[in-house]
Structure 1
Amino acid sequence: MKLLIVGATGTLGRQIARHALDKGYNVRCLVRNARKASFLKEWGAELVIGNLCKPETLLPALEGMEAIIDAASARATDAIKQVDWEGKVNLIQAAQKTGVNRYIFFSILNAEKHTDVPLMEIKHCTELFLAESGLNYTILRPSGFMQGLISQYAVPILDNQAVWITGASSAIAYMDTQDMAKFAIRALEVPETKNQTYPVVGTKAWTAEEIIQLCEKLSDKTAKISRIPLGLLRFLRGFTHFFQWTYNISERLAFAEVLASGKALTAPMEQVYEIFGLDSKETTTLESYLKEYFSRILKKLKELDYEKSKSKKKKKTPFKSSV
């Protein structure tokens, strides 16, 4: 199958590209910068330059493609509406014109319940637009990536820096992006997934406090916790919304407020695994993911300390000792 992957340089997209190539798919990746995406070419993917916000670049990229996996999302510096709404509309319309047979879209779990949050409202609207497009779609709804926990919790704890959390954190069922990639590819292979929406979440929902405790145990360090009151978060969201140049900050604070609401972001997955033909026992748990990370990092730190102490011993003084 000839497959176009959008967002292939991202945390999730690169795992989808890797898994698709390993399974023998003919992979093309829509990228904005060929140099930054050179690793995809080295893996065996074809690169085509394009931009969701430039519709004229999409038709050539889709030429000859049978399916799309859309894992793209706005970066912190991007305007969410332009990329996640206007850009996705452009892509779906281009898919209609070129006769693409399958479209896999990554949304967000419970997007329809938080339409006051710009990013989640846009994801929900995109779901509706895709469902009405006439394309054979599958919508996958993750709640959070395990990869994001490294910079949020693990690195600050190892560096003795503050870990910022809200007063009341939501339990989130994080999933490894490698496991999400398996669901994306299986959606192309299982006919029953056509025109359906599924949650794609981890085996257990974790609060911020539970993740910190796990990191402390695995690193043998004590975390420095700094709490942001939910009221302050809401004030900052309202304040930044007043100014045009801070709209993007306001939108992301709104999403952060959802994560701090105390309402769990999780869903039952038993039937999903059955439909996709995947084994839940093979899904990475948060404990094993963080254990592997800390073991690799701590081993590396020990090696660096050993090399440093060894070099100090070898260092000779330029002065001779007097008798």
Structure 2
Amino acid sequence: MKNVLVAGGSGYLGRYVAREFKKRGNRVRVLVRNPEKIMNPGEHGEPVLQGFVDEVISGDATRPETIRGLCEGMDIVFSSLGMTRPDFRHSSFDVDYMGNRRILDMALETGVKKFIYVSVFNAEKMLDISNIQAHEQFAGELRKSGMNYTIVRPTGYFSDMGQFLNIVKSGVMPILGEGDKRSNPIHAEDLAKVCVDAAGNDLTDIDAGGPDVFTYRELAELAAETAGKTPLYVEVPLWIADVLLPVAKLVNRDIADIIAFTAAVGRLDGVAPRHGTRRLKDYFRECLSAEG
């Protein structure tokens, strides 16, 4: 049995990772900002963590005084800590880099044996985006730290693909560029197994995608078929994002990152080695069923 810290324990991936570590007989501590959140299902169907965690630490990695002693007694640290949406108070650097840097420093001080960190697939091709920069700056620090580590780089999450269902209901489905760029998004339950497996192997870098590969247009069509909708497909030239980006940077850097990342998705293939068994069509059905 190992003592494991899961930072970002209330997030889409963090919940599944905490549960998977516990199912394999480990003692699990989670870091969350709101302890009540993990006692209810997540907005994307993530599991309740009651019964799957041994200790809940209520803290905020952007506030060092709230996470003192976080890594004491831990053998393994897993972190999927990062900004998932703009909050207009913190930057990606504050959370994705500095927050994880503080946890790494504590892990080094307390003798943690392994640090597993989740970054982004194709990150090296998107270093002009500030939140990708923050991820990769921390990944670089982790490599230099002397800590035994694994950096896991997933493609898109199924939770992100759920936006296709929301958009298709409007009756109009935008298609980025020609819609021909491919990806293989992965369910967090499958990705959690990849991450927990990493605790017991010597791999330093793991790229991970799901079992099925789709073009952007095929993702949109799958969402439409599953929802029983026939939307109007509208191709959106990628130069529009290029025009909007300088303006967005003046308003909010995080919003600018969303625009830049969206444009990058329209220009890059994002197919990683295939893992897992969960199918996107089944996930779409689960989402629709949950809506009633």
Provide TM-score, normalisation by structure 2. 0.87
CA displacement, residues 262-312 of structure 1 (integer Å, 9 cap, x when unaligned): x2111334xxxxxxxxxx5x5223344335545x36xx75xxxxxxxxxxx
Q: How many correspondences in the alignment?
A: 279
CA displacement, residues 188-229 of structure 1 (integer Å, 9 cap, x when unaligned): 123x33xx1010112233222101222233333202334432
Q: 1:247 aligns with which of 249, 253, 275?
A: 253
Residue of structure 2 in register with 1:117 after alignment: 129
AA partner of residue 246 (structure 1): N
For 2:257 and 2:167, how far apart are their aligned partners in 1? Answer: 25
Output aligned runs, 1:265-280, within 5 Å: 265-269=270-274
Gaps of 5+ in 2: 41-47
Alignment partner of 1:47 is 2:48 = no
For 2:171 and 2:30, how far apart are their aligned partners in 1? Answer: 37
Residue of structure 1 in register with 2:39 after alignment: 38
Alignment partner of 1:88 is 2:108 = no
| 1:88 shift after superposition | 1.4
Rg bigger for which structure? 1
Is contact 1:111–1:120 with CA below 8 Å preserved after alignment?
yes
Alignment partner of 1:163 is 2:173 = yes
Q: Which moved more, 1:132-141 or 1:228-237?
A: 228-237
Alignment partner of 1:105 is 2:84 = no
Alignment partner of 1:217 is 2:225 = yes
Is contact 1:55–1:91 with CA below 8 Å preserved after alignment?
no
SS of aligned partner of 2:37: coil
| 1:41 shift after superposition | 5.7
CA displacement, residues 132-160 of structure 1 (integer Å, 9 cap, x when unaligned): 1111101100010012212x112333x34
AA partner of residue 284 (structure 1): R
Q: Which moved more, 1:175-184 or 1:161-170?
A: 161-170
For 1:218 and 1:41, how far apart are their aligned partners in 2? Answer: 29
| 1:56 shift after superposition | 3.3
For 2:228 and 2:258, how far apart are their aligned partners in 1? Answer: 33
- Deviant stretches of 4+, over 4 Å: 291-294
| 1:63 shift after superposition | 1.3
SS of aligned partner of 2:214: coil
Is contact 1:118–1:254 with CA below 8 Å preserved after alignment?
no
For 1:184 and 1:59, how far apart are their aligned partners in 2? Answer: 25
Residue of structure 1 in register with 2:45 after alignment: none
Output aligned runs, 1:65-80, within 5 Å: 65-76=74-85, 77=87, 78-80=90-92
For 2:174 and 2:107, how far apart are their aligned partners in 1? Answer: 42
SS of aligned partner of 2:35: coil
Residue of structure 2 in register with 1:276 after alignment: none
Residue of structure 2 in register with 1:177 after alignment: 188
AA partner of residue 81 (structure 1): F
Q: 1:284 aligns with which of 275, 278, 281?
A: 278
For 1:156 and 1:53, how far apart are their aligned partners in 2? Answer: 33
Is contact 2:19–2:49 with CA below 8 Å preserved after alignment?
no
AA partner of residue 283 (structure 2): Y
| 1:89 shift after superposition | 1.3
Residue of structure 2 in register with 1:257 after alignment: 263
For 1:174 and 1:83, how far apart are their aligned partners in 2? Answer: 24
Output aligned runs, 1:221-240, within 5 Å: 221-240=229-248
SS of aligned partner of 1:212: helix
For 1:216 and 1:38, how far apart are their aligned partners in 2? Answer: 33
CA displacement, residues 68-117 of structure 1 (integer Å, 9 cap, x when unaligned): 11011113214211101111111111111111111100010121222112
Larger relative contact order, structure 1 or 2 (CA cutoff 8 Å, min sep 6): 2
Q: How many percent identity over aligned positions?
A: 26
SS of aligned partner of 1:37: helix
